[in-house]
Amino acid sequence: MKLVALAVGVVGLLFFSSLLAIEREDMQVTDLSADAHTLLEGDRIMLLIITRSTCPYCNSLMKTVMLPLAKSGVWDSRVVLRELELDVSPEILDFSGKPVDATAFAERYGHPFTPTILFLDRCGREVGLRHNGYDGSDFFEFYLDKSIKQAREWLVAHPPECIQ
């Protein structure tokens, strides 16, 4: 009986883990110019999370904060959530639609360590103070939500004029 329960638990865990992987894959950056079009209406911003697959803090941030928030839909009207995994992401299209290596794109924002959360407008301009690192704090989500609010307020006061 214990063996059956263990087998069911393992199968359930594998199934749940595969669902998380699919959801994380859905957040991966491929075409930022297409994502930028979704930011045209209202005061939505992009949260771009720069990660590495080998970074335990990145994996913890994605698993405990970002994936649950993405799945809940609580930010859907305010945020487009994307992940740029530097050591996994292939060449991407930047905000102007030009192909660029993921690491070269990240270096446009300095050389951020991982994880780094950028708050961007539809032109790729930073509109809020970035969050560097993740400490697992219970208040992280609160501060992230506060930063989103401030970035959106700044965006309304400084509408983007993209230069391609």
Q: Tens digit of pLDDT for each residue in 39-72?
A: 877 779 999 999 999 999 999 999 999 999 899 8
In this prediction, residues 93-116 reach a mean pLDDT of 92
Whether domain 28-157 has CATH 3.80.30.20: no
pLDDT digits (tens, 9 = 90+) for 105-154: 999 999 778 999 999 999 999 999 999 999 988 889 999 999 999 999 99
Could you tell me the pLDDT band of residue 164, with boundaries at 50, 70 and 90?
low
Q: Does pLDDT of 16 surpass 60?
A: no
Domain ranges of the chain: 28-157
pTM above 0.85, yes or no: no
Strands (E), 42-85: 45-51, 79-85
Q: Which two tokens stand for residue 57?
A: 């803090």
Angle at alpha carbon of residue 86, lines to 25 and 153, rounded to 5°: 75
Look at residue 2 in the predicted model and tell me its pLDDT: 54
